[in-house]
Amino acid sequence: MRILVISGPNLNMLGIREPEIYGKSTYLDLVTYVTDCCTAVGCVCDTFQSNHEGAIVDRIQAAYGVVDGIVINPAAYTHTSVAILDALKAVAIPTVEVHLSDVDAREEFRHISYVSLYAEKVIKGKGFEGYKEAIDYLSDKLRQSVIE
């Protein structure tokens, strides 16, 4: 089973960017962490980060027929992007939305998520641990659908 972990704008700046909110670990640390989480549950991990909305839409479309589950932190695009929502709906791949910070406890504009209209689960405010929860959830669900 193949899981694609997508990271939106400015997540390549993890470790430098507002460490009091996002922590001191880097994007490379995140890639290592999610790869290990996928390996632990017998899944192959693809990772993708972009600061560009269209590139994220293209990557989601390219996942069609190839990827079994998507973990996405759309970062700032969470709160604005109908295009990313539509791409996820188009490919219809099971998706979990993850945020490192607790977006509900922050500015009001961060309370809105377009991606949540498609994602079957949303995990907020758990840091890297949220990605593990998302990967475990998807691998359980995908395994179950193979049995049924």
Rule CB under 6 A: choose which of 41, 101, 137, 142 binds ligand DQA.
101
- Site residue total, ligand DQA (CB under 6 A): 10
Please give the Cα distance from 13 to 31 (Å, whole number).
13
Say which of 27, 99, 114, 118 is annotated catalytic: 99
Q: Are strands 121-124 and 69-73 parallel, antiparallel or unpaired?
A: unpaired
Amino acid making up residue 97: E
Catalytic residue status for 64: no
Indicate whether 47 belongs to the interface with ligand DQA (CB under 6 A).
no
Residues 69-88 that bind ligand DQA (CB under 6 A): 73, 75-76, 78
Catalytic residue status for 99: yes
Residues 6+ apart with CB under 8 A from 70: 3, 4, 5, 6, 60, 63, 88, 93, 94, 95, 96
Kindly list the catalytic residues: 22, 99
* Contacting positions for ligand DQA (CB under 6 A): 10, 73, 75-76, 78, 99-101, 103, 110
